[in-house]
């Protein structure tokens, strides 16, 4: 029983967590008026309303959303961009009025102007006789099935391209094949579509095919330069599940609405300020890796010991050394310099003794 209560508590905690997350998402969805914004965006993209009829009064809907404080500035900018694309361009004065009405900063004007660099017609004259640009893929309008599909009426061009490629209807001029599409591929695709649309009673037993689940399927690799959206990633999953193909989406990076607007605005910025990876200096290895080790110092040559020449110069005879010696009371006088001074001292002493002797003799003479 305790084990059952533990599982009940865990299930209750998980259920409460999901309810809180769903409530937070709903609060965010309602506070930013995403339902109205998304519905208007779908009408701009398709030209149809929720009932798949020609949309009317789209300008009034746009102005109403621009007046709403709940709609944030990035959403307002996206609405203006979609309206310009839907109308095939606007007068320059009308664009400035919409920006002022939406309260957008002046830097967002560069984003609108840079759409022209992407092939979008931004401004047009009052009397325009130029025909609108035809889309690359013909829009297919599926019948409305539920209210949930009203916010996903726009069908991505990537999904149409993948379906046309599988069915063999892709325009070879715009998308040239490296290998010609064969009739066998078209027949296999048509058979798979019929098997998916058939009912359970009319369908043939597929117990033999269920064993071959691990059989390799045809692979389709799609590469999109410049970034792909998460909606295009979802389209790849839908086509993969519908046609039993392995669809791989490769791209440089994933795009979000905010990132896309920032990149469009950077198209007119000085390239040196963008710090693009292609403009950066190529990384180099540290210089110390290429430094060569210093060669070892050469060993010094062996120094020759000085040869003694004492045996070549015989010592002076003892007579010469004895001549310079003097006998004194202090016993010094070994050097020639001291011998000279000793001679002078001896003469002075003899003179003094001689004077004393003469004085003594005179004294004796006086007493005699």
21 vs 351, more confident: 21
pLDDT for 213: 53
Third-level CATH fold of 32-118: 1.25.40
The pLDDT value given to residue 200? 45
Mean pLDDT estimate for the chain: 78
CATH topology of domain 155-171+216-272: Rossmann fold (3.40.50)
87 φ, ψ (degrees, to nearest 5) = -85, -5
Helix, strand, or coil (residue 222): strand
**259 band by pLDDT with thresholds 50, 70 and 90:** very high
pLDDT of the residue at 338: 46
Q: What is the pLDDT of residue 199?
A: 45
* Alpha carbon distance 229, 156 (integer Å): 10
Phi, psi of 54 (to 5 degrees): -60, 125
Q: How far apart are CA 150 and CA 241, in angstroms?
A: 22
10 Å CB burial of residue 14 (0-12, 13-18, 19+) is exposed
310-320 confidence digits (pLDDT tens)? 566 666 566 65
pLDDT at 72: 92
- Choice between 308 and 107, residue whose per-residue pLDDT is larger: 107
Per-residue pLDDT at 57 exceeds 50:
yes
Q: Residues 92-120: what's their mean pLDDT? A: 90
Exposure pattern of 300-339 as b/e (b: 16+ CB <10 Å)? eeeeeeeeeeeeeeeeeeeeeeeeeebeeeeeebeeeeeb
pLDDT for the residue numbered 320: 53
CATH topology match: 32-118 vs 155-171+216-272: no
The average pLDDT across 182-190 equals 62
Sorted by where each begins, the domain ranges of the chain are 32-118, 155-171+216-272
User: 197 falls in which pLDDT band (50, 70, 90)?
Assistant: low
* Minimum mean pLDDT range among 38-47, 268-277, 314-323: 314-323
What number of other Cβ atoms are within 10 A of residue 58's Cβ?
A: 17
- The 10s digit of each residue's pLDDT in 284-306 is 888 888 888 888 888 888 777 77
DSSP 244-303: T-EEEEEES-EE-HHHHHHHHHGGGS-HHHH--GGGSPPP---GGGTPPPPPPPPPPPPP
Is 124's pLDDT higher than 80? yes
Provide the pLDDT for residue 147: 55
| pLDDT at residue 51, as a whole number | 81
Helix (H) or strand (E) holding 229: strand 228-229
């Amino acid at each position: 029983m305790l084990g059952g209560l533990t599982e009940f508590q865990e299930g209750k905690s998980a259920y409460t967590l999901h309810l809180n997350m769903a409530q937070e998402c709903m609060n965010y969805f309602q506070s930013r008026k995403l339902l109205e914004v998304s519905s208007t965006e779908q009408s701009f993209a398709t030209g149809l309303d929720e009932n798949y009829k020609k949309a009317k009064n789209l300008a009034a809907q746009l102005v109403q959303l621009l007046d709403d404080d709940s709609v944030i500035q990035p959403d307002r900018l996206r609405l203006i961009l979609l309206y310009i694309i839907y109308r095939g361009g606007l007068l320059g004065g009308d664009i400035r009025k919409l920006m002022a009405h939406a309260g957008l900063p002046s830097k967002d004007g560069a984003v609108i102007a840079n759409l022209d660099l992407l092939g979008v017609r931004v401004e047009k004259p009052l009397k325009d006789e130029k025909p609108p640009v035809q889309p690359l893929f013909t829009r297919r309008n599926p019948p409305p099935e539920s209210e949930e599909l009203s916010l996903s009426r726009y069908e991505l061009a990537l999904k149409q391209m993948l379906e046309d490629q599988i069915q063999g209807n892709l325009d070879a001029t715009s998308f040239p094949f490296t290998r010609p599409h064969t009739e066998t591929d078209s027949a296999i695709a048509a058979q798979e579509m019929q098997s998916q649309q058939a009912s359970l009673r009319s369908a043939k037993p597929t117990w033999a095919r269920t064993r071959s689940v691990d059989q390799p399927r045809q692979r389709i690799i799609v590469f999109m330069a410049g970034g792909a959206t998460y909606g295009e990633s979802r389209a790849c999953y839908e086509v993969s599940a519908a046609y039993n193909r392995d669809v791989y989406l490769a791209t440089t990076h994933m795009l979000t609405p905010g990132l896309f607007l920032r990149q469009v605005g950077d198209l007119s910025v000085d390239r040196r300020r963008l710090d693009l990876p292609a403009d950066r200096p190529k990384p180099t290895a540290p210089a110390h890796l290429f430094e060569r080790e210093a060669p070892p110092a050469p060993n010094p040559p062996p120094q020759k010991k000085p040869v003694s020449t004492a045996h070549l110069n015989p010592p002076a005879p003892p007579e010469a050394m004895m001549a310079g010696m003097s006998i004194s009371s202090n016993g010094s006088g070994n050097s020639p310099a001291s011998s000279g001074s000793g001679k002078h001292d001896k003469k002075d002493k003899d003179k003094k003794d001689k004077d004393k002797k003469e004085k003594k003799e005179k004294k004796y003479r006086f007493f005699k």
